[in-house]
Amino acid sequence: MEAWNERVVEEANLFNPAFCAMLIAKACKDYSKKGQDTLSFPLAFLILPLIVHPGTRAALPYSTATSLISWTQERRGDLVEFGAHTRRLLPYTREAIMFGLAHTMLTLDESGGINTGKSYVAPTEKKTELFTSEVRDCLDRAGFVGRWFAAAGTASTIYSVLGVTP
């Protein structure tokens, strides 16, 4: 993985560790709101692959009434490369988690769960002038994925349903 200042501008902007950490934090926040304790650490590695790819993000349902299993069955053809896509984004996810932990935007608990930390501030358009409609969409969809995962079962079930293997 290239150093931040040596990356291509588009890559640096899209995979900005602060932005990616915010997406993971938003998913963690909404996961916890759905009544679950903390997001299982392995599930954090599925957030960016579902959100940063515009096609995958657009294909996500808009209601948690659509189960993860039924969605993956309908989208099986679209998800053929999802496992490989997830592996390609591992370095960016690790970087985002480390950034989030270093800046207390994220915390880890003793059970291996990941949640928002004391520095997490819900992102809104009022707090930054850099908020675009795509950024809003990414954050909204990250929150949705957190709520969706909360109703989808264990991390191993979710990985299995999405066809992601170690």
Residues 6 or more apart in contact with residue 19 via CB below 8 angstroms: 135, 138
165/23: higher pLDDT: 23
Q: What is the pLDDT of residues 18-35, one digit of tens each?
A: 999 999 999 999 999 987
pLDDT band, residue 165 (cuts 50/70/90): confident
As a whole number of angstroms, the distance between CA 21 and CA 107 comes to 11
Q: Where are the beta strands (DSSP E) in the chain?
A: 39-40, 106-108, 113-116
Note the pLDDT of residue 96. 96
The whole-number pLDDT of residue 46 equals 97
pTM of the model: 0.92
Give dist(CA 47, CA 51) in Å, integer. Answer: 6
Which residues have a Cβ under 8 Å from the Cβ of 149 and sit 6 or more positions away?
27, 31, 39, 43, 46, 68, 158
